[in-house]
Chain A
């Protein structure tokens, strides 16, 4: 702009072309960009790094016990324990990832996106789907990595211990729960005035609900009890109807959260 050459060029208008707009392109643009940016974010990298380090550390320790002391190690129990640690450790960072999805962009960055040819619905859906894919896909990859590692490291015991169907069911069940957390997180982020407020509220609700449920008697789904049962699911001892029920409830909760987020966000100032 500072140069005459550039100034002269700035006055040249692009040729007039009749354009057929692709209405789904804005959704894909936000979805792909959010996937890339989430993968580059320090929260995501910290989550993956911590999970991998914790998994490798625990597995090596158990392998040491298995090889050196000759102690029997159940692969299902190792994997169940690791899943439990991964879920509890991941929860705080998954909440940060989900809530910050929309709320951290509020202001000028969102301005430069939402002032273009994208509706609020498309923006919310793209952000939600991107975070959903990142969190569930990452967890699924890490979980299957842990399962494979356990299988190969404790192969002798695993032959009678780990079941493929059970492993898939366990990963699916955890991913369903994570999907609900991510969806509500994105919704809270879309409706909250500040990221910190949204994260704090969601942490309080999640950990508070978890603590209260752990005090409730057996028919109530205490997170601690459910996580302890994961090793049985990994061994293939699960009720398919219960898994289906869990998936259905998760789907309904996700749909409700998404509807609340869509309606709320479409009426908010950005």
Chain B
């Protein structure tokens, strides 16, 4: 991703984690993250996303390979590096018997922030995340939304350069999720972010880069545009207008085309699948020609499936289909 290695915020080489010689959680992951990048970490359950994040944070030690953050090797004792990182774990849990003010003061002291800095900052953040009315309540009784807001405030206390948020929208209601996404967008202007998520629409909305993990292996790393560019553009829906008889005849003609593998008419909506190797523009041109010959009006045409989701599913499916060829690395990278 970067030409100049000195600019990198995160760099990993052959990062591998095997738990107690029983479970391969991460397998030979090499990637680099530039400043200003908003990386969406994608993958199914057990893909190794959280393990990857924990290795970057120094919470876990790698079995092989290394992770560098801000050009320095990350380790469990690299406290100085972690002072520049803001982290939200999945389902954040807090020590019992604390109020938001006490908790944030504790976290700020863990960063080594002197009282003159931490007190005004935590007050600003409590106000910013709208926890002011709850600042005297015990965090043990917080709702998931309030917990997420407190976790956001804790991760921003040290004004970090790198934010690592593990499933930040997990368990949030629609409004809270929307607010979280808006916050990520505004933070993306000045910080580097790594967002792990199951929700591809979230990633699609806020990220500019993606890294796809599957069974511990990185199968894609590059820009989100590049990920979308790898989508198999072979599945379309066409909304038609015209005489039903003409439409039926036209569909029969479309079905007869050698490039069309699947054509189903539901009322006035035609669903078409093209062959994998077919140049889609040429095939679509032929279909449009056929529609014109039958005097059918084309109202809309659209690619089926959300692009990022489709691209992600394609990647995972393709990786599964490689069988023993997975032995040879074929990471799709920009």
CB-based nearest B residue for A193: B20
Q: Select from chain B the residue with minimum beta-carbon distance to A122.
A: B79
Q: Is B330 an interface residue (CB 8 A)?
A: no
Q: Give A16 to B117 CA distance when docked, in angstroms.
A: 11
Nearest-CB distance from B225 to chain A (Å)? Answer: 26
**Considering the chains assembled together, what is the distance between the CA atoms of A158 and B94 in angstroms?**
51
Q: Which residues of the other chain, A, contact B91 by a CB distance below 8 angstroms?
A: 108
Q: Taking the complex as formed, is A23 at the interface, i.e. its CB lies under 8 A from any CB of chain B?
A: yes
Q: Are B148 and A1 in contact (CB under 8 A)?
A: yes
Q: Are A115 and B89 in contact (CB under 8 A)?
A: yes
CB-CB under 8 A from B303, the residues of chain A are: none
B residues in contact with A121, CB < 8 Å: 77
Question: B59 near A109 (CB under 8 angstroms)?
Answer: no
1/0 contact trace for A8-34 toward B, CB 8 Å?
011111101101111111101110010
Q: Are A14 and B124 in contact (CB under 8 A)?
A: yes
Complex contacts, B175 vs chain A, CB 8 Å: 1-2
- Are the CB atoms of B111 and A26 closer together than 8 Å? yes
**Pair A40/B145 contact, Cβ less than 8 Å:** no
Given contacts A9-B127, A14-B159, A117-B158, contact A30 B83 (CB under 8 A): no
Task: Establish whether residues B110 and A22, one from each chain, have CB atoms under 8 Å apart when the complex forms.
Answer: no
Interface residues of B in 222-252 (CB under 8 A from A): none
Q: How far is the CA of A14 from the CA of B104 in the complex (A)?
A: 15
| A16, B124: Cα distance in complex, Å | 13
| Chain A residue contacts of B19, Cβ below 8 A | 269
Nearest-CB distance from B18 to chain A (Å)? 11
State A25–B128 Cα separation when bound (angstroms).
25
Q: How many Å lie between the Cα of A154 and that of B173 in the bound state?
A: 68
> Do the beta carbons of A19 and B97 come within 8 Å of each other?
no
Contact at A120–B77, with CB atoms within 8 Å?
yes
Of the four ranges (under 10, 10 to 19, 20 to 34, 35 or more), the interface on chain B belongs to 35 or more
Instruction: Using A26-B79, A112-B89 as known contacts, say yes or no to A20 and B114 having CB atoms under 8 A apart.
Output: yes
User: Is there a chain B Cβ closer than 8 Å to A260's Cβ?
Assistant: no
Among the listed B79, B125, B154, B176, which residue makes an inter-chain contact with A14, where contact means beta carbons less than 8 Å apart? B125
B61: chain A residues within 8 A (beta carbon): 267-269
- Tell me whether A217 is interfacial, beta carbon within 8 Å: no
What distance in Å separates the Cβ of A263 from its nearest Cβ neighbour in chain B?
Answer: 11
The digit string for A23-58, where 1 denotes a CB below 8 A from any CB of B, is 111101110010001001000000000000000000
Question: Which residues of B are found within 8 Å of A142, using beta-carbon distances?
Answer: none
Query: B residues within 8 A CB of A29?
Result: 106, 109-110
Q: How far is the CA of A30 from the CA of B107 in the complex (A)?
A: 10
**9-residue interface stretch from B6-14, B29-37, B177-185, B305-313:** B177-185
Instruction: Say if the beta carbon of B219 comes within 8 Å of chain A.
Output: no
Query: Within 8 Å of chain B (Cβ to Cβ): is A118?
Result: yes
Distance between A5 CB and nearest chain B CB, rounded to angstroms: 7
Cβ–Cβ contact A26 & B109, under 8 A: yes
Residue of B nearest to A33 (CB): B106
A-B contacts, 19 of them at CB < 8 A, read A1-B149, A2-B176, A3-B130, A9-B127, A10-B186, A11-B182, A20-B114, A21-B112, A25-B114, A26-B109, A33-B95, A40-B97, A111-B54, A112-B93, A116-B83, A116-B107, A117-B112, A119-B78, A119-B79
Q: Which residues of A contact B (CB under 8 A)?
A: 1-3, 5-7, 9-14, 16-17, 19-26, 28-30, 33, 37, 40, 107-109, 111-122, 266-270
